[in-house]
Amino acid sequence: MTEDPRQRWRTPPALAVELAQRYAGGRFDLDVAAEEGASVAPAYYDRERDGLGQPWTGRVFCNPPYASIPAWASKALAEHYLERPEVVVLLLPARIDQVWWHRLEAEAELVVPVQGRIRFMPPPGVEASGPRDASAVFVLRRGLVAKRFRYRGGPAAGGSGM
């Protein structure tokens, strides 16, 4: 993970609890982009044990450094394809013009825009500031890819053709 302290903002604990309750059965098992002492799960990967190079299992939370989102999106999709994690919940900036956004959106069970701006917690030594980006939550769940279902057969015989 990056050494730039501006890339180490932390997820507000109440938000992590809400996301776990809504999308991960009430808890996260693994935080793959955590800061030491600020993980939202009992197990975590931090700068020393880089989550990009480790397997993801269980109920996974990922709020990665924004400077390297494409790498984290690719890793989340790779783990999802391998069906190692039960669920991956990614908290990312709402940047719908990015390739990583469209790759995740195509595979996600759910994409939820967050209403309002999240006030992330600054790392030590970094002055708090207002949030710049809107956010979205992506949910990748083992064995379920809602957006892959595409009916391409046309109207059924005797159907209304709607």
Q: Give the pLDDT band (50/70/90) at residue 1.
A: very low
Domain edges within the chain: 5-148
**Calpha distance 139→134 (Å, rounded):** 17
The pLDDT of residue 107: 92
- Say what the pTM is: 0.81
pLDDT in tens, 64-123: 988 899 999 999 999 999 999 999 999 999 999 999 999 999 999 999 988 888 776 666
pLDDT of 112-135, one tens digit each? 988 888 776 666 676 766 667 889
The answer to whether 84 and 90 have CB atoms below 8 angstroms apart is no
Which CATH class for the 5-148 domain? alpha beta
Across the chain, mean pLDDT equals 84
Burial of 84-93, coded b for 16+ CB within 10 Å and e otherwise, reads ebbbbbbbbb
